[in-house]
Structure 1
């Protein structure tokens, strides 16, 4: 039954996509999106699909969901950077809503993301299915790469202390600053093992993912979206949110290491351009 439902959803999604491609011929307009760097591979694939069905042109600004770096999303919003839609980790987005930078009534959870561990292709593949296996892998590694973003902060401030190995890992932990990914450090030999969100690890070739972290020490991040408070194209931003909740987008979310939170058979109307667009 589930298999039939998946086929039906795919057929409807493809049919909807084809109809929308033919809908509307108004000139393209820019839709500005501030998004977590972790979503870049996903948007590079599905962004053109949305542009095809909507007639809009997506303009992205990438950054971390947290932090004070010049390109971090909270800093961009605080500085008044032009934005119609914000897509980032839910906890960080909640903070932006509280600060008046995004509209609470438009908030939607899109997907979950798990943390994983990876090594360079061809390197030994230790078992990290258990906490003891993960501990042994981290302690044995000559160097451990983590991101400067939320996953790295969690690893250094929570995961390593919880496992009782913070002191042993301190000298050999390599922090990778965004927009570079942990996988790049594995590629070029700067680190032996790397920890980051699965979606970001999957975005890098030449590395192999050992698996997600054990459930007991896993951090599940919720990816959410909301219309920016000063959005000039709020209705179109909401249309992009609906697109990201569609079966068409769900297939790509799965492919890039995310687990869609809500996927429903989409009708034609959610993505259609308004007559005065």
Structure 2
């Protein structure tokens, strides 16, 4: 089992990919070296020369690499739809965020943690600007460069965490309140594709077909994503 497929993946599908690794390795006989980070960070690394066999990014990020010739366009496949949600520390009251008015009240009453460069953080920053409450929120917000925002709930630094629901669920000691109202957000689509320069294209292609299978769809649902 000397072959190893290197995967660079967005954080949002980390749990699902990790669930896949052991059965994939035992079935296919090829190890997976997976590295997880926000899409924008991965795009910077790939453009700077970081190597991978298969990448999982936002659909937009993957298509950018395909346009640049770094990803094989014909290999690209959509894997999951993801919504941005809110979480609180375990045991804390759940605010009512079913509509825009409730969301506004909850955000203004809390110290909010969100990510600067993640897809969820970009959406959230735009959302609070549109709602006219960006100055009030950012005056007491915890804005992290990247990583899991719900960790700031556990540490006591924040009252509400904003991120993809699948990323919120990766942190113990928190509870997901629910999604930001659907009318206020556009779901992120996460897609996978083969790197043009991969020397393990056959093995990476086998993995990509597994990612598009019903088995992986079950793992996505468990992780809080929609296949």
Aligned to 2:77: 108
Root mean square deviation, CA, Å: 1.2
Counterpart check, 1:229 vs 2:196:
yes
> Given the two structures, how large is their TM-score scaled by the length of structure 1?
0.79
Name the count of aligned residue pairs. 226
Q: Which of 215, 220, 224 matches 1:253?
A: 220
Query: What are the superposed Cα offsets for residues 152-180 of structure 1, whole Å, 9 maximum, x if unpaired?
Result: 11111x110122211211211211232x3
Q: Which residue of 1 aligns with 2:177?
A: 210
* Equivalent of residue 128 in structure 2, options 146, 150, 160: 160
Within the candidate set 2, 12, 35, 1:61 is matched to 35
- 1:47 matched to 2:21? The reply is yes
Between 128-137 and 160-169, report the one with greater CA deviation: 160-169
SS class of match (2:226): strand
Q: Deviations over 1:97-118 (max 9, x none)?
A: 1222211011100111110001
The answer for unaligned runs of 5 or more in structure 2 is none
Residue 38 in 1 paired to residue 7 in 2?
Answer: no
Contact 1:176 1:185 in 2 (8 A): no
Classify the secondary structure of the residue corresponding to 1:46.
helix
In the TM superposition, residue 82 of structure 1 has moved relative to its aligned partner by 2.1
Deviation at 1:38, TM superposition (A): 2.2
> Which of 140, 144, 147 is the aligned partner of 1:176?
144
Provide the secondary structure at the position in 2 that maps to 1:168.
helix
Larger Rg: 1
